[in-house]
Amino acid sequence: MIESLKQKLMSQRSGSNEDRYLLAGLGNPGRAYRKNRHNIGFMMVDKLAEANNIKLSRRQKKALTGTGRISGKPVILAQPQTYMNRSGESIIGLASFYKLSLKNVLIIYDEIDLDFVINDQHILQRQLVEAR
């Protein structure tokens, strides 16, 4: 999965704010949830951070974040600290703050449910537009 993400980032052209990506890994904060399958998003962001020398040390918009580069592209890695069912608040806040297009927001989570993803993208897109 990390290699396919790197290939996607490498295939994009450089030169504008459109090149920045928000990679948000979903999970639940706290030791009790650390090894839970619902924290696969957190685990993936941890691996991406480690592999690309990005420190997740800043608290921003209800998330633990770090900025850096993956395959030469600027990225914001995020682990929302709002628990799974409220993680959209954090992601919307970050996407709006960085003025990111919805196509530059990648969400990593443990469920495969295409209807949910499509519905969430519509809701996220509408809330991003309303936030601007």
Provide the annotated active-site residues: 38
What is the Cα–Cα distance from 106 to 104, expressed in whole angstroms? 6
Order of strands, sheet of 63-70, starting from the edge strand that comes earlier in the sequence: 58-60, 63-70, 73-80, 21-25, 105-108
Hey, how many other C-beta atoms are within 10 angstroms of the C-beta on 69?
A: 12
